[in-house]
């Protein structure tokens, strides 16, 4: 039996979050998804959470300018503990996670990147910028990468990659659209595999 709890972290439109919730409805993902954490209370992901009765917690540095790293981490950890979160799924979350959250949830935080790591990553490489850089580089193939999160941007161990074709007449928008389709298909499937492993490990501890 799976009684795991997943928290999604998002800052943007939330199309991956939506795909994850759909996979939950379809029984592909078995865990509960009780919590969305966001740094942007006006983003699309918040609307999606509200429509799907997912609790939203807004945590932003702007609200806690005086906390040190440990205290700021604790703000996240308190919420994550309250909801008994086992797995953190970053889905377009634009902030670096505080270091004690990363430490506490080692191998329990995953992210999706819209290109084949270790290429096209690092600071500024998010959203449409990634697809623009891919086209400018003239590479013949792009893809998606799902990886564990550690203290550095886009540097955690890779869990899954899938290539996505680049077409002759692609622009950054058409490419982003094609890549997103792959994200929506594979992110839920990877989450479903991981939850089985976490569930097994929890019950054998
Ligand atoms: C996706 O392309 C994802 O790979 C990246 O941020 C984007 C989020 O899109 N990390 P959305 O908010 O899920 O639509």
The domain spans of the chain are 5-203
Query: What does the pLDDT average to over 175-181?
Result: 98
Please tell me the CATH code under which domain 5-203 is placed. 3.40.50.170
Residue 69 is encoded by which pair of tokens? 């790293």
* Bridge partners for 111 per DSSP: 90, 147
DSSP secondary-structure letter at 157? P
The tens digit of pLDDT for each residue in 7-48 reads 999 999 999 999 999 999 999 999 999 999 999 999 999 999
pLDDT at 176: 98
User: Which residue, judged by its Cα, is nearest atom 14 of ligand 1?
Assistant: 15
| Residue 15 in contact with ligand 1 by CB distance below 6 A | yes
What number does the ligand 1 atom closest to the CA of 12 have? 12
- Residue 43 to residues 47, 147, 171, Cα–Cα distance (Å): 7, 24, 25
DSSP 3-state assignment of 177?
Answer: helix
Residue 58 annotated as catalytic: no
**pLDDT for 187 beyond 60:** yes
Atom of ligand 1 nearest to the CA of 43: 12
Model-wide pTM > 0.85:
yes
Please say whether the beta carbons of 9 and 90 come within 8 A. yes
SS3 113: strand
User: Where residue 179 falls among pLDDT bands split at 50, 70, 90?
Assistant: very high
Q: Is pLDDT at 53 greater than 70 in this prediction?
A: yes
């Amino acid at each position: 039996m799976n009684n795991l709890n997943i928290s999604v972290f998002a800052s943007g439109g939330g199309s991956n979050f939506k795909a994850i919730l759909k996979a939950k409805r379809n029984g592909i993902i078995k865990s509960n998804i009780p919590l969305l954490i966001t740094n942007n209370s006006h983003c699309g992901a918040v609307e999606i959470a509200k429509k799907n009765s997912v609790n939203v917690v807004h945590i932003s540095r702007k609200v806690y300018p005086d906390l040190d790293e440990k205290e700021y981490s604790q703000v996240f950890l308190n919420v994550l503990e309250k909801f008994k979160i086992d797995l953190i799924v970053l889905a377009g979350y634009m902030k670096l996670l505080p270091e004690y959250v990363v430490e506490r949830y080692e191998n329990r935080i995953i992210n999706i990147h819209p290109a084949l790591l270790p290429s096209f990553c690092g600071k500024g490489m998010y959203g449409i910028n990634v697809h623009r850089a891919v086209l400018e580089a003239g590479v013949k193939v792009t893809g998606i990468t799902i990886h564990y999160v550690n203290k550095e941007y886009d540097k955690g161990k890779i869990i899954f990659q899938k290539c996505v074709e680049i077409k002759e007449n692609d622009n950054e928008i058409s490419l982003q659209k094609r890549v997103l389709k792959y994200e929506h298909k594979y992110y839920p499937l990877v989450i479903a595999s991981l939850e089985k492993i976490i569930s097994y490990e929890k019950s054998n501890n």
